[in-house]
Amino acid sequence: MNSPARVPGLSVFLPSHNEEANVERVVRGYLAALPKFADDYEVIVVDDGSRDRTGAIADRLASENPRVRVVHHEVNRGYGGAVISGIRAARMPYVLLSDGDGQFDPEDIAKLIAFVPEYDVVAGRRSRRADNFVRKLNGKAWTLLVKMLLGVGISDIDCGFKLFKREFLERIELRARGAMISTELMARLAGLGAKVREVEVRHLPRLAGEQSGANFAVVARAFRELFALYSDLRREGEKN
């Protein structure tokens, strides 16, 4: 196992929607941890049209620390839209996606960077998923469907804790705007021949706020976007 002590630069972006009770704690947690892992770093809060004080709190943190940046969406674009904005805003050679709800431990970055630069993507796999039974069951069913339909062999496709080489992210065009973005990311990176490694990470209970990933509209959108991606990849394969 290749275990460098740190990476030269790391952008962490946090998709956040109505996370006023979490955003300050999560940002400060990353600011405390990142000097251990990166020579240079930044934390990007993507405020995805929040109706609460998420954006205002993030702006205050940015005014206090130049390593914090904020991307504002005037209206909610969905999880996929927030992920795309975070990727576009990232400036460092390595990019970490971490959901803004505080369910991932910044110290687990060490588990991911242990596999760079050998791997182009290091994807977290939740060892003990801190969600209810229905969410766990839905997650397993979705992962199985993605594997059958797209051939993406990731065992926890929707884990919101993933490390990327930015050079690979710059080579893909993402279209999903909903929860299907993680699947599209991994499918398109696999199509580029990116070397992928999965690593077990901790999944912490949500301390505040509400999850939205299981509502009908989100699930229906994910299925529409999945089959659209399947069609896109088939057409692209036929061209090649």
All structural domains of the chain with their residue ranges: 7-239
Provide the β-strand partners of residue 71.
46
At how many degrees (to 10) do helices 181-191 and 133-150 cross? 30
- Type of residue at 53: R
User: Rounded distance, CA 143 to CA 155, Å?
Assistant: 7
DSSP annotation of 5: S
Question: Among candidates 12, 192, 160, 28, which has minimal Cα distance to 87?
Answer: 12
Q: Which CATH architecture best describes the domain 7-239?
A: Alpha-Beta Complex (3.90)
**Strand residue runs (E) in the chain:** 7-16, 38-48, 68-73, 94-98, 121-126, 161-165, 196-201
Please identify which residue in the block is written with the tokens 């699930």: 219
Q: Could you list the pLDDT tens digit for every one of the 240 residues in the chain? A: 444 469 999 999 999 999 999 999 999 999 999 999 999 999 999 999 999 999 999 999 999 999 999 999 999 999 999 999 999 999 999 999 999 999 999 999 999 999 999 999 999 998 876 555 556 656 666 677 777 667 677 888 889 999 999 999 999 999 888 888 988 999 899 889 999 999 999 999 888 766 555 566 777 777 787 777 777 777 766 555
Confidence at residue 81, expressed as pLDDT on a 0 to 100 scale? 95
Provide the β-strand partners of residue 98.
161
